[in-house]
Each structure stands twice: as structure tokens, then as C-alpha cells.
A = this chain, B = another copy of it.
Amino acid sequence: MVLKKADNIKCNEDIERERKKCSFDPLELTHLLDGGPEKTRERKEREYYFLSEPELRDTIPQDYLSHKEKYEEAVRKACTLFRKVTQLRDKGGDLEIFRQTLSGMLGSAILKDGNPFTLHYVMFLPTIVGQGTVEQQAEWMGKAWNCDIIGTYAQTELGHGTFIRGLETTAHYDPKTQEFILNSPTLTSYKWWPGGLGQTANFAVVVAQLHTKGVCHGIHPFIVQLRDEETHKPMPGIKIGEIGTKLGMNATNNGYLGFDNVRIPREHMLMKNAQVLEDGTYVKSPSDKLTYGTMMFVRVIILQDMAGYLSKATTIAVRYSAVRRQSELKPGEPEPQIIDYLTQQYKLFPNLAACFALRFNATWLWNMYNCVTAELEEGDLDRLPELHALSCCMKAVCTADAAQGVETCRLSCGGHGYMTCSSMPSIYGLVTAASTYEGENTVLLLQTARYLMKAWQQAVGGMTMTPTVAYLKQAVSGNNGPWSWENTTACIIRAYQQVAAGKIKMCAENMDKRIRGGICPEDAWNMTSVELAQCAEAHARAIMVDKFVESVLELNVSPALKTVLTQLSELYAVYWLLQKSGDFLMFSDVTAQDIASLQKWMEVLLSEIRPNAVGIVDGFDICDEILSSALGSYDGRVYERLFEEASKSPLNKEPVNVSFHKYLKPFLKASL
């Protein structure tokens, strides 16, 4: 779909035929995903507002530029984008538009290789709001809000990422001058990775170990000026630059930052929670748990983003598979559309289903997050550990699945998926990064596992269980109730819970055995950690299948759409069961015969989804400008677009490249 649908689009015939045989109305799906027709209209208006701006378009694809040119183009476009965002904001737009326009699907379509300004709105501003006192907010918010300054958030260091307690940057309080003195005591203490830090931002929130009166009080946030507002030259004692090229996001200007006795006023420590008084007295924060909030919010956002990127990749791969014809199924017949091969359906449709699984689970986690936050404000911290445990394992599983899904979709497009103009490589670059940032996936799984080990003890002890781990009670009692296996999602969900419970129980027993054998708890934990990570994954999968199926059941949509979504939720449930069949044979009532019949069911589901596949991705309603893919555009004119893209290469602008005269001809003409 283009921004404004022209009437005269000539679509590829195969893809047109697909649209005719669709059994539901894709527009109904679009409205469902947006939250209603009005929301769809708003989204499309917003997309048009940004994407129709000529200043935000690339004159040539950015991949042909040098690294430096890419950065300079990104700054140019980011300024235009920010201007337009601010205009929209001042007209009374939702704050959420910042995020969506800067880091979501729309933003990543405009600045495909990343935006060096993103952290200003996504981290710098929110940290001032969340951690600054009223006075600090008054002072800094105006400047930041009006873009008089541009900020970033400098936490990660060369030597420390996920384990933030290990950060080494120091901020020593000097009561004489009432200043903090910032230093980078080691090479590894240099800040490393923050977006926009390299050449862009002139201010930063810097996270450093706070020392006062000879005591270290752990990490705290400080506002630091990095560059002169007039000249943009680094401030005294600031060593700053960019970290270099990466797998993706090469325009985000990720930077490094070192401090050599950089002095900042006491008031630059963000003191909403902890404080340092004028004489250097440290006043503790009332609660540590409050900082969990932002972290969990970010993880929910990650789930949404993963759903978006995977939807992009499946849209491209499904449309391409409907247009591409190859090989033969039956001698003498025309080459089939590759989407008719069961092996191709097996690559595509489980990922199509995963788009919905991720989306519905993101919504579910978002609702839970809001409930828990509301309880928190009334002083009730009870469900915080559960929410934290869920956000950890779901972030890990969703980012890993999305990355694998995107790669599967890319590979399903054969060689053409390897081309930059397919957009697949850049989608992968964005998605795979999420396995590492905001908590490395294995570390997160083990955090969930720690919660699950405690939950198991509670279940064994007969205590009341919070809803998402209530299934452990059945495992403890050993009574699964009288139920016989049927190919239904209800049975499958119980089996997922049996697997999770079985793995949790096994880990608890293995830990226990090791500790009783004289191994200290920390070593026992490490020795059991491969299984512990797997039990957290099993827990996440049990939740995700359950919430996907439940969400579809509760939907108030047409029977036609309901049927399609039910098929997708069933496919998701069956597919992952078969992927993990060993676990189900070991820990659930599923038998080898059931596996064989589930395989058949899966094959039936693939063939049921087949005629609606193009309709489903049409329902995602990702416009061509956002897809930005020669293989995935709405009209299906794959080969024409591949040619158009090739014609944009600067190498194709001249009949003979200079290297022929400079190097090649002398080489060929030399008598060797």
C-alpha cells in the first residue's frame, strides 16, 4: 500500500489473484491492530505527514554513501524530523508520537540506519523527568523540550553493560567547591555505546559511582555538559568520539566518553531519589524498586517493536513468495508460486503467527505493567517481582524468536533476500541488537529462573501463588486431573505448563542435589544454569501461547477474521510444541502418537492459512515507504523494482569506472 492509494496501480497478477481469494477483510484486521478505524486514520495521517516531506527522503540509498556522509545526512534529516515532531506536539499531539516517530517503525523508515537524536527524547528527557527534583525539572526540561540543548544517556561502559553495578566511572563530591569531580579511572571505564554521543549531543545524563565522605554509594545519574554550546568543541577534560562502524544502525553515532577531572555543580546530580547535601551528607533513596519502572516499560516497548519488525519481514517474504515462481511440482505444469511449497509455508506461517503472538503478548504485558504501576503508587509492591520476572523472560524469548524469524524470512527469499534493497538485512540489524541491549538475553533468563526457583519453593510450601505461576501448584500435587489428550489449544496450553513446571522442578532438584553434595549455592547455580535458562524459556513459552490463545478467544470480530486468527494461534501453539517435542515427551502427557498427529494438524493449518497469507500481511497495512523493499511492495512488481534499485548505484551511472584505466587495464595489458 502506498501512502495515498492511486487507482492506477498495476499489480502483479499472482498477487492480485491472492487478494481475490482472501476469506476475510484485511481492513478489519488493520482496524483491530490499530485499535479502531479512527486510530487507523490517525496513524495514516501521521505517516503521510512525515513521509510526504521531501526533506526526509533520500536522494540516493544511504548504503552507497561513506560512513561520514551517512552521519551528515542523518543529522540533516533528524533536524527536519525533530522540527516536524515539535510542530505536531505543539498542536497537541500525543507524547507517544515521539517514541513512534523516533524509534518505532515510522522512525526507522525515515532514518533507516538510525537516528543520532533518538536518545534525547527516549532517554535524556525521561530521565530528567523520572529522576530530577522539581527544581531540576524546571531548569532542564525547558531547554531539552525546546531543543536548546541536545542530550544523550551515558551508562554503558567499555567494560560493563548488563551488570551495571560494575560501572567504573567515578563522581567524587568535593564539599569545598560543592562540585562533583568526574573521572574515568581505567580504560574500561570509558562510556561506550550511547547513541548520539559521538559527535552529536552537547549534554548527557552520565551514570557514575558516587563517592562522598570517603564512601561509595553506588551508581547515580548526573547531568554533564559535553560540548560548548557555541562552538560544539568538547568541554575541558572531556574525551569524546564515536566508536566506529557496526552490523547495523550506522547513523546512530554511538560514542565513547572519558572524564579527566571534569567538575560539575552539586545541583547537576539528579536528586529526586537519593541526594547529596551541601556538606557531602548522603541521603538514601526511599525505595530501590522504583527504578524498575522505566526498565520494564522499555521491555514492553521492545516486544511491540519486535512485533513490528517481524511483521515487516513477513510482509516482504509472503508477498515475494506469492510472486516468485520456481521449479516444478508436476511435470509439464507451469512453475508454481513458491508459497505453494509446504516447506516454504513452514518457514513463513509460524512467523506470521508469531507477529500476532508478540503483539497480543505485548498488549497483555502492557496492561499488567499498568496495573502493577497503579498498585505501586498505592504502596503495594506485591506483584513487582512477578512482573519483573515476566518482562525478563519475555524480552529474551521474543527478541531471540524475532531475530530468528527475520532471518528465516530473509533466507526464504533466496539470493534476493541478501540484497540491501530487500530491506531484510537492515531489519535483521535492528532486531538482533535487541538480544543484547536492555539486558543480555541469557542474563535475563537467569533472572527469571531465580524467581521461578523461589516460586517453586512457595508452591512446595503450599503458599498462595500469583496467577502466572499458579500452574506450579498442580505440578507439586502431582495431580493433573482427569484429562485425555485432544488436539485442542486447551490441552496444548496445559502441556506447555507441564513442561515449564517439569523443568522448574528438575532444576530445583538438581540445585538441591548439588548443594546437598557439598557444592556451595553459587557454584550449584552456575552448574545448573543451562537448565535454568531453559526453564525460564519454557515458562515464557507457556505464558505466550496461553495469552495469545486467550486474546484471540476474547476478540469481538467477524467470524471470518476470528477463524483466521484462531488458525494462527493454533499454529503457533502446535509449531513450538513440535520444535520442543523432547521436552513435551519428557515432562507432559503428550505421547509419541500425539506428536505424529500434531504434525498432521500443523500441516493442515499451514494449508488452511495458505489462501489468506497475502490478506493477513495486507492487514498489517505497512505502506511501501515504510517497508522500503523491492521484494515486498504492495503491487508485487518485484523484478521491476530490483532493476530500479540497481539503477540507483553510483557505479551504474558511468559506462566505465575509473579503476579500469587506473588499475585494470595496466594489469591486463602487462605481459605477466
Contact = CB atoms under 8 A, between A and B. Distances in A.
A659 interface: yes
B63 A67 contact: yes
Contacts of A6: none
Nearest to A440: B414
A160 B338 CA distance: 12
B533 A161 contact: no
Contacts of A232: 656, 660, 664-665
A283 interface: no
A586 to B, nearest CB: 5
Interface string A633-657: 0000001101101111111100111
A64 B66 contact: yes
Interface residues of A, number: 141
Contact of A529 (B86, B343, B667): B343
A287 interface: no
Contacts of A95: none
Interface in A149-172: 149-150, 156, 158-163, 166
A526 B667 contact: no
Nearest to A606: B530
A575 to B, nearest CB: 11
B662 A241 contact: no
Interface stretch (A71-79, A128-136, A386-394): A71-79
B652 A329 contact: no
Interface stretch (A374-382, A429-437, A468-476): A429-437
A330 interface: yes
Nearest to A532: B343
A237 interface: no
A433 B63 CA distance: 19
A602 to B, nearest CB: 8
A609 to B, nearest CB: 14
A431 B340 CA distance: 28
Nearest to A592: B586
Contact of A245 (B199, B202, B420): B420
Given A67-B649, A68-B64, A645-B244, A668 B75 contact: no
A455 interface: no
Which of A148, A199, A244, A664 has the largest count of B CB atoms less than 10 A from its CB?
Answer: A244
A649 B75 contact: no
Contacts of A643: 158, 187, 190, 256
Contacts of A520: 330
Nearest to A428: B247
Contacts of A61: 244-245
Given A425-B247, A530-B342, A592-B585, A655 B523 contact: no
Nearest to A506: B596
A669 B229 CA distance: 9
B665 A415 contact: no
Interface in A205-255: 229, 231-234, 241-248, 253
Nearest to A595: B586
Given A75-B659, A146-B672, A667-B79, A243 B419 contact: yes
Contacts of A451: none
Interface stretch (A20-28, A559-567, A576-584): A576-584
Contacts of A522: 329-331
A245 B426 CA distance: 12
Interface in A403-421: 407, 411, 414-415, 417-421
A649 B241 contact: yes
Nearest to A89: B672
Contacts of A506: 596
A599 interface: yes
Given A72-B659, A188-B639, A326 B436 contact: no
Nearest to A445: B343
Contacts of A343: 442, 446, 529-530, 533
A162 B324 CA distance: 13
Nearest to A637: B187
Given A200-B664, A241-B647, A665-B232, A658 B72 contact: yes
Contacts of A68: 64, 650-651, 657
Q: Which of A67, A162, A665 has the most CB of B within 10 A?
A: A67
A16 interface: no
B649 A414 contact: no
A82 interface: yes
A418 B650 contact: no
B437 A411 contact: no
A663 interface: yes
A72 B658 CA distance: 8
B247 A651 contact: no
22 contacts: A65-B66, A67-B651, A75-B657, A75-B662, A76-B663, A146-B672, A147-B668, A148-B669, A156-B415, A159-B639, A160-B326, A244-B421, A245-B419, A247-B419, A330-B520, A341-B529, A343-B446, A346-B530, A411-B436, A414-B440, A578-B582, A580-B582
Closest 3 CB pairs of A and B: A581-B582, A582-B582, A75-B659
